[in-house]
Structure 1
Amino acid sequence: MTRRLIACGLVLTAFAAVTACGTRTPDNASQTLPTSAPSSSSATASSTAPAGNSGAAAPAVKRCDSTALKGEVAPTDAGAGNRYGKFVVTNSGTTPCTLNGYSGFQLENASGAVPTKLERKADPGPAAMTLVPGGKASANLHWGVVPSGNEPVEGPCQPEPSKAAAIPPDETAPLTVPWTLGPVCSGGRIEISAFYAS
């Protein structure tokens, strides 16, 4: 009898030990394993750990905007009523910036906007580039000085601009560029290429 009780005690002890470890039995079928709460040190570490793990990723280079660019329009060629030039921008900032695409371009004078019809040309087309501080990019310009349609043949064909509001690609704020190249005929039609490194 004593042996049976001892044996039964071992079984009960073993049964109790197994049940405490979370084995599913009819008596504890709805129980779940206990979980340990994170220590305060591990919780703090996870909430203050920097995103990106090691921090080795290089910072993203921002787009060139009107605060980082200075612009000018330089004539390049003329003939048979056609005029050619370049809209040149320089990164005047202290960090690199990216440029990719076409500029907006609105002729203006002291009275406000002057008729402008900007036409994009794909020679050259858009290409991503990074301008280091002092780096330059250009966009080709082409316009005409021969009146067309209802434009007057005596005097200027359109109001004479004194400047242009040029908006860098994917931006909204313009930079002001002096325009000293006279009126633009055909309703202010200007062909413009995408920016390219220069």
Structure 2
Amino acid sequence: MRRLVALSALAVALTACGSPQQAADRSTLPVEPTTPSVSPVAPVPPSSAPTTPTQAATPASGRCTAAVLTAEVQPAEAGAGSRYGKLVVTNNGSTPCTLNGYSGLQLQDASGNALPTDLQRTPDPSPAPVVLRPGTAAAANLRWTVVPTGDEPADKPCQVEPAQAAAIPPDETEPMNLRWNYGPVCAGGKIEISAFYAA
């Protein structure tokens, strides 16, 4: 009889607490499957249109020097008491060069001695860069007088007749030598000269 009472009490206790398997099932929480987080990727902008290659800039040409220039005076029509001509320089080098401004000019005798020269610049045309490709030329206008002035003699040449001249390119110091076949230059060797322009 005591055994039956003990078994009955054990059965009631098990019923109230549940079976060991049910307790284990209750203590286990369901785990949801995890998915790896993926960071949003910024959209790639469309590639820009292909750029057109830029042409290499043309290198600036250096100044024209006496080493690459030849010079001559070309006569023009004469006026009453005045003579006109052009100082023409040609690029005999292998690369372009630039003239910008006025030439120097010194009259000389056959031995290279300086003769009276009064070079005066005129504003027309005014200075502007002139690029001379190999074989091309530029010119400067010249004007001088054959009429004696002041104390210059009227019964003989007003000045010693030049045989040559030295012309210096703008901003340079070395001269170009050229022949002068146009007689004496009166008024103390006065010569008007313009800036260089494309010939």
TM-score scaled by structure 2? Answer: 0.70
Instruction: Report the Cα distance in structure 2 between the residues aligned to 1:194 and 1:134, rounded to whole angstroms.
Output: 20
User: Which residue identity is paired with 2:102?
Assistant: Y
Displacement of 1:128 after TM fit?
A: 0.5
- Are residues 1:168 and 2:169 paired? yes
Looking at structure 2, the residues matched to 139 and 60 of structure 1 have their Cα atoms a distance apart, in angstroms, of 23
How far off is 1:158 after superposition? Answer: 0.3
Give, in whole Å, the separation in 1 of the partners of 2:184 and 2:116: 10
C-alpha RMSD of matched pairs (Å): 1.0
Structure 1: state its 5+ residue gaps.
1-55
AA aligned to 2:66 is S
Aligned to 1:65: 65
> SS in structure 2 opposite 1:105?
strand
**Within 2, Cα distance between the matches of 1:114 and 1:150?**
17
d(CA) in 2 for partners of 1:195, 1:60:
19
Cα deviation code 1:80-120 (max 9, x no counterpart): 11000000000011110011000000000124111000000
**Structure 1: how far apart are the matches of 2:132 and 2:156?**
42
Where has structure 1 moved over 3 Å in runs of 4 or more? 56-60
Q: For 1:8-36, what per-residue CA distance to the aligned partner results, in whole angstroms no more than 9, with x for missing partners?
A: xxxxxxxxxxxxxxxxxxxxxxxxxxxxx
Task: Name the counterpart of 2:93.
Answer: 93
3-state secondary structure, aligned to 2:156: coil
Instruction: Render the CA deviation track for 1:115-152: whole Å, top value 9, x for unaligned.
Output: 00000001101011110000100000000001000101
Normalised to the residue count of structure 1, the TM-score between the two structures is: 0.70
The answer to whether 1:179 aligns with 2:180 is yes
Any gaps of 5 or more consecutive residues in structure 2? 1-55
Shift of 1:62: 1.0
> Where do 1:145-156 residues align within 5 Å?
145-156=146-157
Deviation per CA, 1:61-95, whole angstroms, max 9, x where unpaired?
A: 11000001001001101121100000000001111
2:142 paired residue number = 141
Distance 2:170 2:136 in 1: 16
Q: Which residue does the alignment assign to 2:78? A: 78
Q: Partners in 1 of 2:79 and 2:93 — Cα distance? A: 37
Higher Rg of the two aligned structures: 2
Cα distance in 1, alignment partners of residues 84 and 76 from structure 2: 5
Percent sequence identity is 63
1:144-170 per-residue CA deviation (whole Å, 9 max, x = no partner) reads 001000101111100000111000000
Aligned residues: 143
Specify the SS of the correspondent of 1:187.
helix
Residue by residue over 1:21-59, the C-alpha shift from the partner in whole angstroms, topping out at 9 and shown as x without a partner, is: xxxxxxxxxxxxxxxxxxxxxxxxxxxxxxxxxxx5544
